[in-house]
Amino acid sequence: GSASGDALPGMKFTAVPANTEDAVVIPDGYRQEIVIRWGDPVLPGAPEFDFANQTPEAQAGQFGFNNDFAGLIPVDGAPGHFYLVANLEYPTEPFMFTGYKDGEPTEQQARIAMAAVGIAVVEVVAQNGSGALKTVVGPRNQRLTAASPFRLTGPVAGSEFVRTTADPAGTTILGTFANCSGGLTPWGTMLSGEENFNNYFANAGKVTDKTAAKRLERYSFADDDDEHHWGRFDKRFDLAVEPNEANRFGYIVEVDPHDPKAVPVKHSSMGRFKHESANIYVVDSGPDKGTVVAYSGDDEKFEYIYKFVSSRKIKSGLSKTAREHNMRILDEGTLYVATFTAEPVDGSGALPAAGKFAGKGSWKPLLTVNADGTARSYIAGMSPAEVAVFTREAADAVGATKMDRPEDIEPNPKTGKVYCALTNNSDRGTDGKAAADLVNPRNENKNGQILEMTDNHTGTEFTWELLLVCGDPAAADTYYGGFDKTKVSPISCPDNVAFDPHGNLWISTDGNALDSNDGLFAVALDGDRRGETKQFLTVPKGAETCGPVIDSNRILIAVQHPGELDDHSADNPASHWPDGGNTQPRPSVVAVWRDGGTPIGV
């Protein structure tokens, strides 16, 4: 790897080169340890993992499958103790069960899958002198699954679009799944994005009402997209029986770890789409000081970027009154969608004449929800409830810009600039689909790009530029912020973003198209080294890098779907990480720290 040289604080480590190891590969001088794996007990009384003898009851008390977002929230009054909050995105049945018949789960397998998804809250304790975290199986822990009750808030709650046989009031939803990335709030809660929820419903093709069928199609529901076949065993997942159940997923979920008995919330005021995540910025000066703004991307090809500007300010502390007040911040305010100056380009990825990919943009309002529950739709012919539940249609109506799969979007706490991973879009410029433009500058985009927005947060105008146009640094169609491309680690398919305490951007990848395992990278943002990109670690073969948490002395990653390579399954494992020998691979959260527990990368 390249020497650390004059790298910025936080980036002084020896870059890990591209590789295809069945291991988490970290820089020299660093250490790692598993925090928790699929199947490890979370709730008191849950059994130890037994791959060959799984049950729904055991899984509901254990850590679930395919950990994605991870976060650490301090436990009030217990120094060194944290709630580890983690999304458990989706079941990959052929890798969870030996002898799995493709597309034909047994009822037992389907019910294990329903218990393997959702969210885990696990108390962890920091260890002296290292970055390791030990789990506590105790009363602070929570496991939310496809069966746990959630309270729906905002304009969709109680509306005709979400009433079902089991919930005629349309206010209590059972379950969360497809929880991809997320964010932590400054008021001590976790946000989780419900993303590919269309993959859990049967018989979209049997919905005969024309409007309902069109709306299902706009959200990519299709018979072929029912990957998990839950509708065979639980009729609420059969759209021919319960068409409104589809409208009860696709929200930002908020979980309060400080009260394990609190019913978590789904916030419909933030819109319904394939939420990758939601991340908060709090305005720190001027007349809007204290205003909370949440950014969220809709991760599908040609979908949009959104923000929600709250009209409610944070009440400090963790009293019951403060927590009840703060849990309504994301219910009251205005939802916007982004339009970019997006002049057509030739699609080759060549730098434009001006020297970099840059322009302006504006936010178009879709919906305002008031403190008294009344709401205003900005879209002719759509009620507030319709905008909140069929948000993609509302965004179509205002001409939002079709992006290359908006994944995580997060404001840099040091500068307020907002960074979005546009992961890839193989359909850009094909078959009459939208062609390359300045902000999505390549047709058949395999490697993705990183967007940097300078937003005034509460207003409607912004400027933007591309920080990275990812891919092979030796290729003409890549751009690393103007930095010397012979001195960077190659990056491809950015997914999650985070910031270290020095203000550097960290990016985890999913689907590296450059013949290497996926990894975690640090990117310099300012000065002469802007665009310098260094790989801090790689994950085992077939895995995606998720999480991540980038603290001063500790990095946490979630290793998702290790060993998921073509022509492999639990019957023919491609990976034996993390347990080694002949074991099955297990998605796991890993802590990485520097020898002696000193700060990372300085």
* Contacting residues toward ligand FEO, per CB under 6 A: 89, 180, 195, 276, 299, 407, 495
Count the residues in the chain.
602
Check: CB of residue 126 under 8 Å from CB of residue 133: yes
* HSE value, Cβ hemisphere, 13 Å, CA-based, for 497: 34
* Chain-centroid distance, C-alpha 589: 15
Task: Give yes or no for residue 367 binding Ca ion (CB under 5 A).
Answer: no
* Chain-centroid distance, C-alpha 400: 21
CA distance 50 to 39: 8
Task: Kindly identify the residues of this chain, within the stretch 331-350, that bind Ca ion according to CB under 5 A.
Answer: none
**Least distance (Å) from ligand FEO to the CB of residue 198?**
13
Q: Select 207 or 557, whichever has its Cβ closest to ligand FEO.
A: 557
Q: Which stretch binds Ca ion (CB under 5 A): 104-112, 124-132, 360-368, 497-505?
A: 497-505
Task: Kindly identify the residues of this chain, within the stretch 373-412, that bind Ca ion according to CB under 5 A.
Answer: 408, 410
Which one of Ca ion, ligand FEO, none is in contact with 238 (Cβ closer than 5 to 8 A by kind)?
none
Task: Give yes or no for residue 298 binding Ca ion (CB under 5 A).
Answer: no
Closest by Cα among 153, 152, 155 to 383: 155
Which one of ligand FEO, Ca ion, none is in contact with 455 (Cβ closer than 5 to 8 A by kind)?
none
Q: Select 162 or 278, whichever has its Cβ closest to Ca ion.
A: 278
Which one of Ca ion, ligand FEO, none is in contact with 410 (Cβ closer than 5 to 8 A by kind)?
Ca ion
**Least distance (Å) from ligand FEO to the CB of residue 195?**
5
Q: Select 161 or 219, whichever has its Cβ closest to ligand FEO.
A: 219
Q: Select 180 or 292, whichever has its Cβ closest to Ca ion.
A: 180
> Of 238, 495, 518, 564, which lies in the binding site for Ca ion, with binding defined by CB under 5 A?
495
Task: Give yes or no for residue 180 binding Ca ion (CB under 5 A).
Answer: yes
Q: Are strands 265-267 and 149-153 parallel, antiparallel or unpaired?
A: parallel
Q: Which residue is nearest to Ca ion (CB)?
A: 510
Residue 210's Cβ-count burial label (10 Å; 0-12, 13-18, 19+) is exposed
Which one of ligand FEO, Ca ion, none is in contact with 443 (Cβ closer than 5 to 8 A by kind)?
none
**Least distance (Å) from Ca ion to the CB of residue 298?**
12
**Least distance (Å) from ligand FEO to the CB of residue 87?**
9
Q: Select 123 or 495, whichever has its Cβ closest to ligand FEO.
A: 495
Segments of 98-214 assigned E as strands: 118-126, 133-136, 142-144, 149-153, 172-174, 179-184, 190-194
Task: Give yes or no for residue 500 binding Ca ion (CB under 5 A).
Answer: no
Q: Select 26 or 420, whichever has its Cβ closest to ligand FEO.
A: 420
The single residue listed with the structure tokens 């959200």 is 219
CA distance 479 to 462: 22
What residues have CB less than 8 Å from 526, skipping those under 6 apart? 503
**Least distance (Å) from Ca ion to the CB of residue 44?**
31
The single residue listed with the structure tokens 């990758």 is 276
CA distance 399 to 338: 9
**Least distance (Å) from ligand FEO to the CB of residue 392?**
16
CA distance 340 to 115: 41
Hey, which residues does 418 pair with through a beta bridge?
A: 411, 453
Please give the residue ranges that form the binding site for Ca ion (CB under 5 A): 180, 408, 410, 495-496, 498, 510
